[in-house]
Amino acid sequence: MGDLLAPTHLIIILIIVVFLFGGRKIPELAKGLGEGIRSFKEGMNGSSQAPPAQTPPTPTQPPSDEKKV
């Protein structure tokens, strides 16, 4: 029990994860984890800065189907 992160232990953990979540779900989980880490880093780096102001979108008027005479 000396080396906890031995290659054989990692392989066994990987097999268990694939068995539990399935092959299709793992990329989605990894993507979500990556986005969470990226968001956390941005939050840590930008914590002293104010967030950029967002302007509300201006409503556009749909084109009229009627012809003016």
The 3 state secondary structure assigned to 3-39 is CCCCHHHHHHHHHHHHHHHCCCHHHHHHHHHHHHHHH
CA distance 15 to 20: 9
Measured between its terminal Cα atoms, the distance across the chain in Å is 89
CA distance 17 to 41: 26
**Residue ranges making up the domain that contains 23:** 7-45
**23 within some domain:** yes
pLDDT of residue 39: 92
Report if residue 20 sits inside a domain: yes
Domains: count for the chain: 1
Q: Is the pTM of this model over 0.85?
A: no
pLDDT, one tens digit for every residue, the chain (69 residues): 567 778 899 899 888 988 888 888 888 888 998 999 999 998 888 755 555 566 666 667 666 666 655
